[in-house]
Amino acid sequence: MPKAKRRRLLSATIAVTLGATALAACGSDDEGDAQAGPAELTYWSWAPGIEKVVDIWNKGPGKKDGIKVTVKKQGQGDELVTKILTAHKAGKAPDLVQAEYQTVPTLVSNDALADISGEVGGVKEKFEDTVWQQTTLGTDAVYAVPQDVAPLMFYYREDLFARYGLDVPETWEQFADTARELKRKAPDKDLTTFSATDSGLFAGLAQQAGAAWWTTEGDSWKVGIDDPATHRVAEFWGGLVEEDVIDNEPMYTPAWNKALNTGKQIAWVSAVWAPGVLPTVAPDTEGKWAMAPLPQWEAGEQTTGSWGGSSVGVTTDSDHPEAAAKFATWLNTDPEAVAALAAEGGIYPAATAAQTAGAFDQPPAYFANQADFYDRATEIAKTTAPSAWGPNVNVAYSSFKDAFGAAAKSGDKDEFTAAVRTVQQDTVADLKRQGFEVAP
């Protein structure tokens, strides 16, 4: 990999993980829109109902400014990243892309995202610092505008907690005790499950515990997956699986859906978007759930991790970077646009003012019994720990699924610890294969 590209990404990432002042990233190569006159932009996105939101732009601000946006719906995750990079290599990437936060470093390292810092002045204060850093990578550059956030929370069957005399756990130690108590009182039930297919959830739990999976030393990457914080999380969940006080089957399967719907599992560690999932997964339990902050490692702490969240970036292939940045800013900060995103796509906005706006002055219909749902969600979102992403998150996540899948199947706590080491080794090996320098 060319040194210039590597250094660009390294300098851009250091502040995300350490919260330090980073070196300034390279500025955008664009001197403004390459073509004068009206702009027609293409936007790749997977957000539900995004076409309706874009239609508001095209009939209003876009029509006034001569900027038309066409949406092309895509898959998400690795599928979209691969498609973006393939298109970029051919010089045919769209003007705008929806990018999950953990994919931003990968897109930057491949020079697929433009620095739009000159086009989004004054936007920073609309977001929490920990959110903004995920799209700036802690530098003076801006590679995307935050769209939504996904702080982790604890969801539980309020009625069944009352039936079995369970207290809502405030610490992970209490969480483990609650799992044991439930198993004693109702052997046929589980508090929750450990899902080895959901690497994003585990990453968020490690984030809460203080893990920083990717950092830098000089011009080298340093991978910290095999660190004490991640081991703490792995050993905790591996211990519960070994004790057989929680389930160890994947989420988002017919069996898991049934377990939540029938009350065989009575809690779920998830993110703020859970109210959009539960009506489909557990339709018979509407109004029986409640939400609380994620359990803490130490009593009195207030920290959470995240599971998901995305941004909107302008690609280096766009002929209209100024127009594209203008749309990305409107989409994620304009009150009408953000309200439409919430209504049509069910997102929880990254813009802090929008989190308490009209779209969120009432609880989700599924949680009508918890009037303060969004008030609590807003407070929890403020406690999100910094994220630490690198250029090969996809490799780490794939390794996680294989290694932790085997560990969960074995039911052996020690295998969970071994799985952490495996993910570390696979991630380091892949960085070296790509030509990155890796610190020991």
Structure confidence at residue 31 (pLDDT): 45
> In sequence order, what are the residues at sequence separation of 6 or more whose Cβ sits closer than 8 angstroms to the Cβ of residue 88?
110, 111, 112, 315, 316, 317
Can you give the pLDDT of all 440 residues of the chain as single tens digits?
Answer: 444 444 445 544 443 433 332 323 333 344 445 555 689 999 999 999 999 999 999 999 999 999 999 999 998 888 999 999 999 999 999 999 999 999 999 999 999 999 999 999 889 999 999 999 999 987 899 999 999 999 999 999 999 999 999 999 999 999 999 999 999 999 999 999 999 999 999 999 999 999 999 988 888 999 999 999 999 999 999 999 999 999 999 999 999 999 999 999 999 999 999 999 999 999 999 999 999 999 999 999 999 999 999 999 999 999 999 999 999 999 999 999 999 999 888 899 999 999 988 889 899 999 999 999 999 999 999 999 999 899 999 999 999 999 999 999 999 999 999 999 999 999 999 999 999 999 98
Residues 214-226 as b/e (b if ≥16 CB within 10 A, e otherwise) read bbbeeeebbbbbb
Listed in sequence order, the DSSP H helices in 263-351 are 278-281, 321-333, 335-345
Q: What is the pLDDT of residue 76?
A: 85
SS3 of 344, please?
A: helix
Provide the pLDDT for residue 9: 56
Residue 148: per-residue pLDDT: 97
Angle between helices 413-433 and 393-410 (to 10 degrees): 160
Q: How far is CA 10 from CA 18, 108, 386, in A?
A: 13, 10, 17
pLDDT at 14: 41
Q: What is the pLDDT of residue 152?
A: 98
| pTM, entire model | 0.90
